[in-house]
Structures are given as C-alpha cells and as structure tokens.
C-alpha cells in the first residue's frame, strides 16, 4: 500500500474471513470488517472524514486497486467530481 496521510484507509477483501476490511496502512488489524464492499467503502469514508480527511483506496477481489476517493470536510475541490 502506498505511503501517505496517517488518516488514509484501504478497502480490501478479507480472504480468511470473507467480506471486506477497512485498514490503515501498516496496521495489523482492520479498523472495520463488513459483509459487503459498499459497506466497507462507506465506513472508510466515515473514518477518514471524522479524522479530518484522507484518501480511501479501494481494492478489487483480484487485488488490483480499482478506485479511490478523497474526503476532507470544507476543502472540497471546485472541480466537479464525476466519479463520486
């Protein structure tokens, strides 16, 4: 996982338990575990937003990064975000 902001979270499949994990970089344990990827993405965004903002990177079942989103209250870009 790429280095960066301490508030960043990563959504990745959990091969042992099934479902999806929300993890902080270099963490041994997940910040959250959910049944669906959509639930994990929502929880990751909630965590980063509550921490003052950060990046949410989303991994597909194939292990490849498939999407990302930045959350930061009050500092949204004036550019229209067409993905989220």
Q: What does the H/E/C string look like for the chain?
A: CCCCCCCCEEEEECCCCCCEEEEECCCCCCCEEECCHHHHHHHHHHHHHHCCCEEEEEECCCCCEEEEEEECCCCCCCCCCCCC
Interatomic CA distance for residues 71 and 84, integer angstroms: 11
Domain boundaries, the chain: 9-58
Reported as a pLDDT band with limits 50, 70 and 90, residue 73 is low
- The model's pLDDT over 22-46, given as tens digits with 9 standing for 90+, comes to 999 889 999 999 999 999 999 999 9
Reported as a pLDDT band with limits 50, 70 and 90, residue 2 is very low
Closest CA to 56 of 7, 19, 9: 9
Percentage of residues in the chain with pLDDT exceeding 70?
A: 81
pTM for the complete prediction? 0.81
């Amino acid at each position: 996982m790429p280095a960066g902001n301490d508030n960043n979270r990563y959504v990745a499949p959990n091969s042992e338990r099934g479902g999806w994990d929300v993890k902080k970089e270099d963490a041994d344990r997940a910040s959250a575990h959910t049944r669906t990827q959509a639930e994990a993405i929502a929880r990751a965004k909630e965590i980063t937003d509550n921490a003052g903002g950060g990046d949410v990177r989303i991994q597909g079942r194939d292990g490849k990064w498939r999407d990302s989103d930045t959350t930061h209250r009050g500092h949204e870009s004036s550019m229209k975000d067409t993905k989220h």
